[in-house]
Structure 1
Amino acid sequence: MDPQIQQKILQFETFINDVLKADLAKLAEKLNTKNANVAEFLQLKSVIMTFQNTNVEKTGFKTKVDIRNNFFIQAHVPDASKILLDVGLGHYIEFTLDEALIVINIRITLLEQQIANLRKAIARTNAHIKLILIAIRDLQGMRVNI
């Protein structure tokens, strides 16, 4: 085989392993984070709806609070009609439960759009990897039927 072709093949393989697979890992990590965020918002939405359906927001409730290292204390929440939501950069805003549901639904919609974009980017990166592998096989003289 021609040394220039071998050099090109080595460059393609290096590009796949060093660049494309690293990009794919980063995208997968971002996708997992976004999916976890959606799950948290869905769980919060469920809790708020349970509060509204059982009138806990007016009567209050008892709970256990983790104060780190799996050390729990019992707490009583007398007024559950408002909730603090993290709006980013460590800032929290107080919302009524109805307002919080609106914000949560918007955040879920935004996260789902970001997830769709990440999935497209992952598919595009996988396509680039396959395309380069096909090019490598062609350079090696091993034609592949697609």
Structure 2
Amino acid sequence: MDSYRQEKVQKFEDFVDCRLKPDLVRAIGERDKLFEQQKIFSDLRKNIENLERNSVTSLRTFVNLGSEVYMQADVPDTQRIFVDIGLGFHVEFTWSEALNYISEREGKLSRQIEEYTKLIASIKAQIKLVYEGIRELLELPAERSVQEPVF
């Protein structure tokens, strides 16, 4: 193989290893964070609906103070709750306001997850395209997509 082809193959491999694969890992990580947020809001919605269904007006619970240290807490009035809206801000909502907010956030999170899923698919396609270019540069035969039985 001549040096020109070798340099091209090396550039393509470096592009995949230094750019595309880190981008893919980053996109998957961001999408996983969104899945976690979606789960948190889903759990909160279910808890509020359970409180409404059971007409709970006061509550005794354990609160995580950090580092898995818990403290018992009494909630005398459950009609209003504080919801973390991001950046360290909490907003006091009634149950119905909280459910409306949660529905909006879940919709936004679903759209963001969809965007990251498309981005991940695009990066994977780019990686496959670059590998196909490397294969052509090296003049290797194309891989068969369906393996035929060998007898």
**Shorter-chain-normalised TM-score: which range?**
over 0.9
Paired residues for 1:25-44 under 5 Å: 25-44=25-44
Displacement of 1:36 = 0.3
Partner of 1:120: 118
2:5 maps to a residue whose letter is I
Tell me the C-alpha RMSD between the 2 structures.
Answer: 1.1
Displacement after TM superposition at 1:2 (Å): 1.5
Deviation at 1:73, TM superposition (A): 1.8
Deviation at 1:93, TM superposition (A): 1.2
SS in 2 for 1:67: strand
**Deviates further, 23-32 or 87-96:** 87-96
Question: Separation in 2 of the partners of 1:32 and 1:141?
Answer: 39
Alignment of 1:49-88 (within 5 A): 49-56=49-56, 59-88=57-86
Q: In the alignment, does 2:127 pair up with 1:129?
A: yes
CA spacing shift, 1:88–1:70, aligned 2, 3 Å: closer
1:101 aligns to what? Answer: 99
Runs of 4+ in 1 over 4 A off after TM superposition: none
Deviation digits for residues 47-99 of structure 1 (CA, Å, limit 9, x no counterpart)? 0000000111xx20111112223222211111000111122221111110000
Give the Å deviation of 1:143.
3.3
Cα distance change on mapping 1:132 and 1:32 into 2, 3 Å: same
Q: Which moved more, 1:80-89 or 1:39-48?
A: 80-89
Q: What is the rounded CA distance, in whole Å, between the counterparts of 1:70 and 1:125 in structure 2?
A: 38
1:21 deviation in Å? 0.2
Query: Hey, what's the Cα distance between the residues in 2 that align with 1:88 and 1:124?
Result: 29
Q: Distance in 2 between matches of 1:54 and 1:63?
A: 16
Q: State the partner residue of 1:6.
A: 6
Q: Which has the higher helix share?
A: 1
Tell me the amino acid that sits aligned with residue 138 of structure 1: E
CA–CA distance in structure 2, aligned partners of residues 73 and 142 of structure 1: 65
Quote the sequence identity (%): 34
